[in-house]
Structure 1
């Protein structure tokens, strides 16, 4: 004659208790389905821009966190970001970024990354050295409400 082990009985008892609790939690009230929203409108997406030609973003990015490698080429000549958005320029040494006018931004540097937050609407020009010959790169950022 085979006797079930205590652990097997405990497992079966726990399972029965879970099933009973789940059944009791459902209650006796009928459940009605949630209303269905209308299907979302189709949105056209374009292919990401190629690395061979810089392009200007067709719309404002919103208050997003965007990262750009400062030594990568080509850089976008301009961006549109909403107030509260942040741009992180990677691979750029301390003190090498100039943001004008500086009254529209708040920023800090740490670990090879300049982090710029756009705090007021306007147009900000970012300038920094790029490449081995240290030519000046420039990105114009339009900051919208």
Structure 2
């Protein structure tokens, strides 16, 4: 991969998920005011978050000009990765929350021949309907 060959720096760690969300909002609107409104913060606060992100990264992600804002080439690449990372994090959170609340996971069922009555398949079917993300063994 070219980035492995060309870069000697490790990824900076002094940037936050909040800054990434601010960057995504700005990239989607290309307007500080609309982006700030979209994520419910003030425009100066958004501007500070973007500047802090750029300082932490060591490169500009947006170009500010009289006509507004546009993504730099680095910003376009970074945006793609940020969206993918946010999606992975949101899915991880949702999966963990479902597991924590008992709506996902694994249910191991032990039984004897005597216990396999006509009711067990019906009970398991109802359980599957109510908890489709719980795997039964």
TMscore range, shorter length: under 0.3
The TM-score with structure 1 as length reference comes to: 0.21
Give the number of the structure whose alpha-carbon radius of gyration is greater: 1
Structure with bigger helix share is 2
Q: Which has the higher strand share?
A: 1
